[in-house]
Chain A
């Protein structure tokens, strides 16, 4: 589904991704871990097409589409979804109006008619239930006055509504209490299917108890320095990152 090859990127003159290789297949969940400042969120930003991130080398394909050639909105329309680490507030724009606009833009891109009001409402109700999203938030202004946890849950609700192929959850678990974490994870688990894939960016092994990943990668200094299965996350939890950093340093000396 997602094929990243030798991806290099920089912000202004600072190199932040230094040759990422990653293959994510349909039906898989990948976790990306790593110490602060290793480039995890930058990878998400580069894939989603955030301004100021300049790709200098490499490629990123979503199915057969070259993501790097597309505008941010077209990447989204092709099925890339980023659950933001810090979802923004947009005063006066109701959550529901925003979602309707987004959904219909994506449908239009695929050559589909806009969803009529009735079907849209039915879909909203169903997905709200699926991800246990409180209906009262649906009519409020987009993220305005939401708590950190409510914002994160709104991201998952949007994910459920827009049905992307590939979802990147950028530290969706940070700032969540244990109940919210369970709800968010349940939502993601329900949305997992053979036709979509997830990348979880996280600092904590705890999330991976709820959403069990097929692969775990460690990102450090702009590169993936180790890949493994869920056991790798447990090992990191126990030993931290220093032993990996040392290994890298050692390799550098050889």
Chain B
């Protein structure tokens, strides 16, 4: 049997299942970013003047910003002038029905397990499919419309519901928030838009599936979800990309707005191409996600399962403005080979009696590096604010790393803040025990890892929890002897 040194030598790259490329005619903007590019994108999308101006404002903010330096990894050099900021399948401008979509595209999504044909979709899940820069299809729109729910691509929302977009876009993540958020605001191509009217409980899971296909393009999508008073929505995003030797940039922005008594549950299963075992290629997943509990008793819950990307760098956060509002963050981040994850959350307690809960489970294998970085901030008016944080790290092998950077700032003496952290290794004893019951080592690791991550996986909608479990198993295949 292999010793632990052999095990590490044996680490093999499980082929990334979604690494194929779709051959489809694309409309691609020339590489580089300047005001002309922004005019180009805005014109392509037939945008109103205010949006173009907002983009330009963001672009000017972007020019003034520099790369952050506080991260716990070596920042790769990104040449923003070598990226193409717009790529769309060449075809009709607007699809009126699924029949008009390029069959090649439909086939691509089928292959990814995301059938866009409503008869074939997962029961109870409406999907918005984004291919490179553009949303290609949204299912169950009609059914949702009956309830007054708007679920469409961001571009469509700009055309159909400009008042909502203008009011809320950039209200949680300002155009000058950080360099990647500014870049996104300047050059975003599409994304998803959701509006749940007062008192409506969205009857199905809403889901966006992002796919990067073209070479040398970045994907810059924006998602905006507004849950009006007393409403509820559960939203899920999934993503994959082809295998390429060059790294690609994904800089998305997600904004969530929960009014009084509203609840938003946002789940992510991130499986972008992670690069090969030597760290070549892979997606740079630099994403700004933030939600605001605007009204009293509002609740926002982030759940993320991060298994892909060469570098994952994101902190889904909640601004707890309304009294008694609640924020949650549940995360499983897996890194293997040369993958890096620097992820966590920020909870800003502003209102009284606000509560937050953070459960972070990092899993590192191979040469993977996993950092939890979190901020719990309690303002002077946040009387009786409560936070509970638990961040656990699981190490597989002895070449990987786990790091924890918790920040706590409290300006209110009535606040209760708890922080627990553990680090453990998958023991040879555990694996041998399972082996002795007829379970091979790979299955044993999958079982142990899924057990470890169960608290987070339990937060995912049922259909996706099963997928996520499988994904964790597959991701770690070959990580141990």
One digit per residue, 1 when the CB lies within 8 angstroms of any chain A CB and 0 when it does not, for chain B 315-335 equals 000000000000000000000
Other 8 A-B pairs with CB < 8 A, given A51-B1, A103-B438 = A51-B428, A71-B1, A77-B438, A90-B451, A93-B450, A102-B434, A105-B438, A105-B440
21 pairs from A and B in contact (CB 8 Å cutoff): A48-B436, A49-B436, A71-B1, A72-B436, A73-B436, A73-B440, A77-B438, A81-B436, A84-B433, A88-B427, A90-B433, A91-B451, A91-B452, A92-B455, A93-B448, A102-B434, A105-B438, A105-B443, A106-B438, A109-B438, A141-B451
Question: Closest B-chain residue to A74, C-beta based?
Answer: B438
Check if B453 sits within 8 Å of A92, measured CB to CB.
Answer: yes
Neighbouring B residues of A48 by C-beta, 8 Å: 432, 436
- Residue contact A92 to B450, C-beta cutoff 8 Å: yes
Interface of A toward B, CB cutoff 8 Å? 48-51, 71-73, 75-77, 81-82, 84, 87-88, 90-93, 97-98, 101-103, 105-106, 109, 141-142, 158, 162
Please state if B432 and A72 are interface contacts (CB–CB under 8 Å): yes
Interface presence of B439 (CB below 8 A): yes
Q: Is the CB of B438 within 8 A of A102?
A: yes
A101 touches B452 (CB 8 A): no
A67 CB, min distance to chain B CBs, angstroms: 12
Give the complex CA separation of A109 and B437 in angstroms: 12
B447 CB contact (under 8 Å) in A49, A72, A101, A106: A101
Residues of A within 8 A of B22 (CB): none
Check A98 against B430 for contact (C-beta < 8 Å).
no
Q: Are B448 and A76 in contact (CB under 8 A)?
A: no
Indicate if the CB atoms of B437 and A102 lie closer than 8 Å.
yes
Within 8 A of A (CB), among B137-186: none
Q: A124 → chain B, closest Cβ, in Å?
A: 15
Of A73, A81, A92, which contacts B451 at CB under 8 A?
A92
Q: Decide yes or no whether B423 CB sits under 8 A from chain A.
A: no
A74 and B358 alpha carbons, distance in the complex (Å): 41
A88-B430, A90-B430 are known contacts. Are A76 and B451 too (CB-CB below 8 A)? no
Contacts of B430 in A (CB 8 A): 88, 90
Contact between chains at B451 and A72 (CB < 8 Å): no
Query: In the complex, what distance in Å separates the CA atom of A76 from the CA atom of B434?
Result: 10
Indicate whether A76 sits within 8 Å of B428 (C-beta atoms), given known contacts A92-B452, A92-B455, A98-B447. Answer: no
Q: How far is the CB of B481 from chain A (nearest CB, A)?
A: 9
**Contact A92 B436, beta carbon cutoff 8 Å:** no
Chain A residue with Cβ nearest B1: A51
